[in-house]
Amino acid sequence: MATVTVNGQPFPAEPGTPLHQVLRRRGGLEMPCAGQGRCGKCRITASGALSAPSSAERAHLTREELARGVRLACCVRVEGDCRVTLSDSARSQICLSGVMDAVSLRPRFHACGAAVDIGTTTLAASLYGADGTLLAQASAANPQAAWGADVISRIEAALRGEGGALAACVRGAVDALLNQMAEQARIAPGEIDGLVITGNTAMLHLFTETSPEPLSHAPFEAARLFGETCSAGSLGLSACPEGSVYLPRCVSAFVGADITTALLAGGICGKDETRLLVDVGTNGEMALWHGGALCCCSTAAGPAFEGAGLSMGMHGQEGAVDHVSVRDGVLLPHVIGDVPPRGICGSGVIDALACLLETGELDETGLLETSPALIAPPAALTQKDVRMVQLAKSAISAGLRTLLHTAGISCPDVAELAVAGGFGSCLNAENAGHIGLIPEGLVSKVRVLGNAALSGASMLLLDEELAGTCEHLARRARTLELSANPVFAEYYTEGMFFGHGTDGL
Amino acid sequence: MELLNQISQNLQAGKAKIVKGLVQQAIDEGIPAQQILEEGLLSGMSVIGEKFKNNEIFVPEVLVAARAMNMGAGLLKPLLAQDGVRASGKVCIGTVKGDLHDIGKNLVKMMMEGKGLEVVDLGVDVAPETFVKTAEEQGCTVICCSALLTTTMGVMGDVVKAAGEAGIRGRVKIMVGGAPVTQAFCDQIGADVYTADAASAADAAAELCRATA
């Protein structure tokens, strides 16, 4: 048995064990491409008895980096005693606040209640007192990132028999958030007697250790859509095992409970007006409320706006370029925190492309004058990055247009486009319109909701009578399939360019 | 010829309506359909394919160029049939069972049509038996399988198996591709050819068709 010392803490490991398995036990590792050696983002510093650098490592790391002991965690095998330094992720700007529709106070808890959103990338939670006051909030990265940034990598890991480990690590992280909030509010964690835990369909499957097998292939029909109550203890939450947990209902395999709760927070349904909701993440989920009916769809946006997909992409945390503007033809980047730039996050990517279009360094077809285009050195966008964004933004915009087209309406008929999730309050709607992420006709109608999934979960927590309405809505919602949909394909092609590059069609 | 060159240029720029107009003009001027196809449309698509391989252009340009090609080719189809012009090869393509992603598959299809191949598009969620049956019944030289999910790419192995059981491996080649697919995976399931991008896939299919012609 060998000893792997991670940041001073020893872990036993059999020689031959992949290093990432040891690091997963400790936590704090992110492996966006699920360990295929493709993204080069699981960098660590290591020395001792380790396997020789693989071809993937030699491709991603410079000679000096390798000489300094920089390695890719996914490629290394433990061969004997070794030491590893894992830089703990920088402080994240996880969006906790969100717009919340008015509620009547009919809480589903007695002493204290907690609302939790299990996002693919981040976890966020709010703690409430019996009188409905917000006592504390907390957030963390989803530790399942060690199995891959996207949902499919994690589903695949669960199907390989790692479902128990995936459930345990996210449950541990939720427990940590509950304990942290209890400490902030100076209450005992056991006083939390009612919880609402929302998340997308796959996240709720993995959290409850339900087999995600039906989510792994067409026809993608989830066997379990939730809308159920169980005990915190039965879900492996040890902070407040006696608490009762409500899991809101999902609409379908790809439109989860996070959308159900976001719809609630945004007050999207129920009124006569036509409203759209979009949540941009690894998948773009969209919903249209029109004529008293709800129609949803989901499109693979790829991780372009979430960091993993771009050469210098990162989450919205310290060192990320989150905004860019132009003055006198020069890019003016804004970096999160008082630190040098390290990369670029989703909102920064949108701004940067809009600015590059303005300065003419990016043409309407998506061709960069020079690649990489420096945004805030060393943070830059390569030609390949721009292409990734083109695919993603076009998929989102085409999804929205297909929803409208299917309902037989167009942009002027829409009262509002509510934007939830990912970008939080950082999204510059005008720039999103410029690059074609949002149809131009909807730009003036954008309302940014912030973390609407969490706000909606809080509403369900504070007013238990909302659950019925919410479940009814999710059950009746129609899901529009975009794969092999000719209308979507047409809009998708049309929306790939920037500006008016598709004239002549 | 200047007119055919204009067709090629406008196709590369994705100007579908102009391409259609120019193809009609070429037909009206009495230029043989096969010449319009080869020196106008296919020559334009081959430039697109090369640029795509060199990363100079990306999916959007290919999609709009292919749309322009299809509009022009639509006018030529009945004339080519009349003249008894045959495609240079026939392949079938589909996204494997359990997978509904069709953007990459469609791109490959367009590139293959741009090489002058006849492509039978089986769509998405295609069962292994369907690939094999189509190849047998329609005399395809190549079966092309696409998958975008790591959870569905295993089905490609079933296609290889089904083709083996049907005894067609000798005359039908199996090509595989899609984001999670690698050369190592292709070797592991015993498929014939893996290509990393749509343009290379079209080159490889055209080569396989030439080899068996």
The verdict on a CB contact (< 8 Å) between B60 and A366 is yes
User: Are both A170 and A247 inside the same structural domain?
Assistant: yes
Q: What is the CATH number of the domain that holds B39?
A: 1.10.1240.10
* Residue A273 lies inside a defined structural domain of this protein: no
Residue in the block written with tokens 């096969």: B34
B161-199, pLDDT tens digit by residue? 999 999 999 999 999 999 889 999 999 999 999 999 999
The verdict on a CB contact (< 8 Å) between B151 and A300 is no
- For residue B184, the model assigns a pLDDT of 92
What's the gap in Å between the CA of B67 and the closest CA on chain A? 9
User: Are both A21 and A163 inside the same structural domain?
Assistant: no
Residue in chain B nearest A492 by alpha carbon: B60
B101 reaches A (C-beta below 8 A) = yes
pLDDT (mean) for B197-212: 94
B151 reaches A (C-beta below 8 A) = yes
The verdict on a CB contact (< 8 Å) between A217 and B63 is no
User: Three-state secondary structure along A384-441?
Assistant: HHHHHHHHHHHHHHHHHHHHHHHHCCCHHHCCEEEEECCCHHHCCHHHHHHCCCCCHH
User: Are both B39 and B95 inside the same structural domain?
Assistant: no
Q: Which of B51, B82, B113 lies at the terminal end of a domain, its last residue?
A: B82
User: Are both B32 and B99 inside the same structural domain?
Assistant: no
User: Are both B54 and B106 inside the same structural domain?
Assistant: no
- For residue A505, the model assigns a pLDDT of 38
Task: Spell out the residues 6+ positions from residue A112 whose beta carbon is closer than 8 angstroms to its own.
Answer: A127, A128, A129, A130, A135, A182, A185, A187, A191, A192, A193
- For residue A503, the model assigns a pLDDT of 38
- For residue A502, the model assigns a pLDDT of 40
The verdict on a CB contact (< 8 Å) between A483 and B101 is yes
| Residues A192, A179: Cα–Cα separation, whole Å | 10
User: Are both B174 and B145 inside the same structural domain?
Assistant: yes
Q: What is the CATH number of the domain that holds A216?
A: 3.30.420.480
**Which H or E run includes B177?**
strand B173-177
Backbone dihedral angles phi then psi of residue B141, each to the nearest 5 degrees:
-85, -30
User: Are both B47 and B98 inside the same structural domain?
Assistant: no
**Burial group, residue B48, by CB count within 10 angstroms (0-12, 13-18, 19+):** buried
Interface with chain A: mutation pick from B122, B150, B156, B158, highest number of A CBs within 10 Å: B150
A390 reaches B (C-beta below 8 A) = yes
User: Are both A80 and A117 inside the same structural domain?
Assistant: no
Whole-number Cα distances in Å, A311 to A344, A412, B175: 9, 38, 30
| Residues A429, A351: Cα–Cα separation, whole Å | 10
- Cβ contacts of A155 on chain B, cutoff 8 Å: 151
**Burial group, residue A190, by CB count within 10 angstroms (0-12, 13-18, 19+):** middle
The verdict on a CB contact (< 8 Å) between A504 and B14 is yes
Residue in chain B nearest A382 by alpha carbon: B55
**Which H or E run includes A84?**
strand A78-85
- For residue A27, the model assigns a pLDDT of 80
Q: Which of B82, B109, B129 lies at the terminal end of a domain, its last residue?
A: B82
User: Are both B74 and B151 inside the same structural domain?
Assistant: no
Q: Dihedral angle at the C-alpha atoms of A99, A104, A109, A115, nearest 10 degrees?
A: -10
Q: What is the CATH number of the domain that holds A53?
A: 3.10.20.30
A128 reaches B (C-beta below 8 A) = no
Q: Which amino acid is at A385?
A: D
The verdict on a CB contact (< 8 Å) between A390 and B59 is yes
User: Are both A126 and A256 inside the same structural domain?
Assistant: yes
- Cβ contacts of B13 on chain A, cutoff 8 Å: 504
- For residue A89, the model assigns a pLDDT of 58
* Residue A217 lies inside a defined structural domain of this protein: yes
B106 reaches A (C-beta below 8 A) = yes
Residue-number span of the structural domain to which A27 is assigned: 2-85
- For residue A303, the model assigns a pLDDT of 66
Residue-number span of the structural domain to which B171 is assigned: 90-212
pLDDT tens, per residue, chain A with 505 residues:
999 998 888 999 999 999 988 888 888 788 888 887 878 888 888 999 999 999 889 888 889 889 889 999 989 999 999 999 887 655 556 677 777 888 899 999 999 999 999 999 889 999 999 999 999 999 998 999 999 888 888 999 999 999 999 999 999 999 999 999 999 999 999 999 999 999 999 999 999 999 999 999 988 989 899 999 999 999 999 999 999 999 999 999 999 999 999 999 999 998 899 999 999 877 889 999 999 999 999 987 666 787 667 889 888 888 999 999 999 999 999 999 989 999 999 999 999 999 999 999 999 888 899 989 999 999 999 988 998 899 899 999 999 999 999 999 999 999 999 999 766 568 899 999 999 999 999 999 999 898 999 999 999 999 999 999 999 999 999 999 888 788 998 898 889 888 753 433 3
- For residue A264, the model assigns a pLDDT of 95
The verdict on a CB contact (< 8 Å) between B59 and A502 is no
- Cβ contacts of B123 on chain A, cutoff 8 Å: 484
Phi-psi region of A434 (alpha: psi -120 to 50; beta: other; left: phi over 0): alpha
User: Are both A150 and A263 inside the same structural domain?
Assistant: yes
**Which H or E run includes A79?**
strand A78-85
| Residues A351, A425: Cα–Cα separation, whole Å | 14
B13-54, pLDDT tens digit by residue? 989 999 999 999 999 999 999 999 999 999 999 999 999 988
B89-141, pLDDT tens digit by residue? 999 999 999 998 888 899 999 999 999 999 999 999 999 999 999 999 999 99
User: Are both B77 and B145 inside the same structural domain?
Assistant: no
Of B17, B60, B152, the CB nearest to A496: B60
Number of domains composing chain A: 2
The verdict on a CB contact (< 8 Å) between A365 and B61 is yes
Interface with chain B: mutation pick from A155, A483, A487, highest number of B CBs within 10 Å: A483
- Cβ contacts of A502 on chain B, cutoff 8 Å: 14, 64
User: Are both A43 and A142 inside the same structural domain?
Assistant: no
* Residue A51 lies inside a defined structural domain of this protein: yes
User: Are both A46 and A145 inside the same structural domain?
Assistant: no
User: Are both A120 and A69 inside the same structural domain?
Assistant: no
- Cβ contacts of A365 on chain B, cutoff 8 Å: 57, 60-61
Whole-number Cα distances in Å, A72 to A19, A188, A343: 10, 41, 18
A159 reaches B (C-beta below 8 A) = yes
The verdict on a CB contact (< 8 Å) between A484 and B13 is no
Name beta bridge partners: A235.
Answer: none
The verdict on a CB contact (< 8 Å) between A496 and B55 is no
pTM for the whole structure = 0.86
Number of domains composing chain B: 2
ipTM of the complex: 0.77
Residue in chain A nearest B101 by alpha carbon: A483
* Residue A28 lies inside a defined structural domain of this protein: yes
A447 reaches B (C-beta below 8 A) = no
Query: By the 8 A CB rule, do B26 and B55 touch?
Result: no
User: Are both B75 and B38 inside the same structural domain?
Assistant: yes
- For residue A501, the model assigns a pLDDT of 39
- For residue A484, the model assigns a pLDDT of 78
> Could you tell me which of B24, B23, B30 has the C-alpha nearest to residue B7?
B23
B56-83, pLDDT tens digit by residue? 888 878 888 998 999 999 999 999 999 8
The verdict on a CB contact (< 8 Å) between B123 and A484 is yes
The verdict on a CB contact (< 8 Å) between A300 and B101 is yes
What's the gap in Å between the CA of A387 and the closest CA on chain B? 7
| Residues B170, A120: Cα–Cα separation, whole Å | 46
User: Are both B38 and B60 inside the same structural domain?
Assistant: yes
User: Are both A174 and A78 inside the same structural domain?
Assistant: no
